[in-house]
Structure 1
Amino acid sequence: MIIESILFNKLENKKVKCNVCNHRCKIAENKQGFCLTRNNLNGKLYSCNYALISSQAIDPIEKKPLYHFLPGSLTYSLGGFGCNMRCLNCQNYIISQNIDKHNESIEILPEKVVKNAINANCQSIAWTYNEPTMYLEYVLETALISHENGLKNIYVSNGYMSDESLNLLLPQIDAFNIDLKSMSNEFYINNCKATLEPILNNLKNIYEHKNHLEITNLLIGGYNDSYELIKSLTDFIADELGKDVPLHFSRFFPYYKMSHVPPTEISKLEIAKEIAIESGLNNIYLGNVPFKQNTKCPNCGELLIERDGYNIKNMNMITGGKCGICHKELNFAE
């Protein structure tokens, strides 16, 4: 379905400037932007993937990953087409970068999305798999309806949306997981075709607006796993966001244009966790590893949540967002 974009400026000679993400593409008539989902048709910008779904699933919320938001609940996960990055290691490149497969999509209108989530006993809708900013209008419309029906909205993103997009999203999105790939601008340029600073600014904006926030950092051996880069990332979270913001270090596996790079050594993730502890972070998790990731009270050490993969085995001693033993305020949204 094609609808007119909500964020663009008209320019001379029927060109348009897209304001959905930080590329801010200037698009000539009958051309499309970097994301391959925004087209200039007769001097107006249109979203060409509204309500077109490539993937849908009922997931544990921990799979997003969100460990401190509605723990133990199910979320209705949706993905579409397109992306505003070109990550060399993209796990979903077929739907994010090769999007000439719309004939394989299905159309699900916002009202149906909400109905599907409710029927599946989900407490939330998660926008994931590809970059959700590419279907901004669809997310916003669905989020309004989902809130009216008591559902929460989750946004799993690379964080490269424009200020205008984020300001529209903040009142509608209850929880964000932002993929902070590196503290190196060079890494973003070479590996993702993007830049770092807008992402850091968006993270600070999300945190200041008190939306629930968790951060994922995929560690790739030899690319973004040096002590200096990890320490810069964990210090940024501690100093600019908050020491209770959950951080997920995730293990890289070879894929797409980085199939020659070996899997990240688990010892590297354990070192990263120690660096995060050194920075004072309280909630650090390792992803894509074969051992459990439990949550303990950062103050008294009480086991709060025992996990087995994405499944919760036991959830204890959390009362009203506080530790049941020492009564420390915890960064949990229930």
Structure 2
Amino acid sequence: MKRRTLIKAMACGAGCACLPFNPVENGLALFQNAYALETTDTLSHVKAMYYKKLEGTAIECELCPRHCLVTDLERGYCGVRENQGGEYYTLVHSRACAMNIDPIEKKPLFHFHPGTAAFSIATAGCNVNCKFCQNWDISQVRPEQVTNVELPPDEIVRICQARSVPTVAYTYSEPIVFYEYMHDTCVEGRKFGIKNVMITGGYIEKEPLKKIIPLMDAIKVDLKSYSQQYYEDVVNGELQPVLDALKIIHDDGMWLELVYLVVPTMNDSTKELTDLCRWVKTNLSDHVPIHFTRFHPTYLMTNLPPTPVKTLEKAYDIARQSGLKFPYIGNVPGHSAEHTYCPGCGELLIERLGFRINKINLKDGMCGKCGTHIPGVWS
């Protein structure tokens, strides 16, 4: 049975109001000055795509598994979608609060056009509340609490063309909550050959996911844990809808990479890591890249230390022993496990240092030494 929530309070909960607000560090001011982007206090008034009307003026949101029941003039859990007289509206269409040009490796996407850049954008809001969120100052607030610039889809295309950036990345917060904005930008960008990648927690209903997949070129999903209890305690979400989303993405033939943030004592047991890797191999594929990334204390989880490198290496070894061909270690610049190796002959194929590419030894998507096909999007 789906969990349904009656929303009659602020989207992020009363606790968020007690948190100090620190403006996000990003390239907003740079792009605002370079392209004469206007700061705006006016929220958007664009009809939401996934909801149904209920008795009176109430609605039920059908975008994510929360299925928020929202009464008139109230908002869903995400804080960026509002019921106005029985119609549901997104308040953040073309209202970006964070943007920058990033290496595609920062997403991280390691098997997708390595060495290229992505114009990364975000709005306020999220449909979960991860206690370790590094971007909580934009994800766990309402759009009124951040600086927004008016950045419609055609302006995003203009910036990409001016900067010769081939890809737009929907990232930083949770693009599912700015679904309509992402959708329209994908449609506009495709007219001009611009690629689209979604960086998401994967907490989305099946129908909207299936609609957005054909507009994407790659999707990276943050799988927070392989434990329902962890999702309840740390994420304020559910595991099964994310697993379902992963299967849909993979089965539809979309390029998929996974990130698993390894949090000390929380989701780093040998059993959980083994079960996770077995699930990925059985339900997805042995060639889906999985990035085991290092946790750093932040937001509501400052009581734990950074992940020991040995723990990350344990996760990496478990993945290899489970038959996964492309595990990685992330947030440890200079570690040998941030490189791509040929599963056939062991040749170093892509040498990385942090987000920098030092060497690529691929020829038409194949190992430059033995010719083994390396799954990914290379051209």
- State the TM bucket, normalised to the shorter chain: over 0.9
One-letter amino acid matched to 1:201: D
SS in 2 for 1:280: coil
Give the match for residue 315 of structure 2: 272
* SS at 1:256 equivalent: coil
Distance 1:258 1:301 in 2: 38
- Of the candidates 185, 201, 211, which is equivalent to residue 168 of structure 1? 211
C-alpha displacement at 1:155, in angstroms?
Answer: 0.2
The reply to whether residue 91 of structure 1 matches residue 130 of structure 2 is: no
Letter in 2 for 1:127: Y
State which of 175, 183, 191 in structure 2 corresponds to 1:140.
Answer: 183
Is 2:152 the partner of 1:109? yes
> Contact conserved, 1:52 with 1:107, CA < 8 A, in 2?
yes
Unaligned runs of 5+ in 1: none
The equivalent of 1:244 in structure 2 is: 287
Say whether residues 1:119 and 2:123 are aligned partners.
Answer: no
The TM-score normalised by the length of structure 2 is: 0.86
| 1:82 CA displacement | 0.4
Residue 32 of structure 1 deviates from its aligned partner by: 0.7
Are 1:309 and 2:372 an aligned pair?
Answer: no
**What secondary structure, in the 3-state scheme, does the structure 2 residue paired with 1:258 have?**
coil
Amino acid at match of 1:333: V
How much has 1:29 moved relative to structure 2? 1.0
Identity of aligned pairs, percent? 36
| Higher alpha-carbon deviation: 287-296 or 253-262 | 287-296
The alignment partner of 1:12 has SS state of: coil
Count of aligned positions: 333
Structure 2: 5+ residue runs without aligned partners? 1-43
TM-score by length of 1: 0.98
Q: Separation in 2 of the partners of 1:301 and 1:226? A: 28
**Given the alignment of the two structures, is residue 329 of structure 1 paired with residue 373 of structure 2, yes or no?**
yes
Is contact 1:58–1:74 with CA below 8 Å preserved after alignment? Answer: yes
Q: 1:181 aligns with which of 212, 218, 224?
A: 224
Which amino acid in 2 is paired with 1:255? T
Contact 2:79 2:141 survives alignment (8 Å): no
| Aligned residue runs from structure 1 range 195-210, under 5 A | 195-210=238-253
Q: Distance in 2 between matches of 1:314 and 1:151?
A: 25
Q: Is the 8 A contact 1:58 1:120 kept in 2?
A: no
Q: Distance in 2 between matches of 1:286 and 1:190?
A: 25
Report the AA paired with residue 281 of structure 2.
Answer: A
Q: Which residue of 2 aligns with 1:257?
A: 300
> RMSD of aligned C-alpha atoms?
1.0
Change in Cα spacing, 1:278 to 1:37, as seen in structure 2 (3 Å) is: same
Tell me the alpha carbon deviations over residues 116-173 of structure 1, each in whole angstroms, 9 at most, x when there is no partner. Answer: 1121121110000000011111111110111111111000000001112101111101
1:176–1:212 CA contact under 8 A, matched in 2? yes
Q: C-alpha offsets along residues 282-334 of structure 1, whole Å, 9 cap, x if unaligned? A: 11111111324211111111111111110101111x12222232222211202
2: CA distance, partners of 1:104 / 1:247: 34
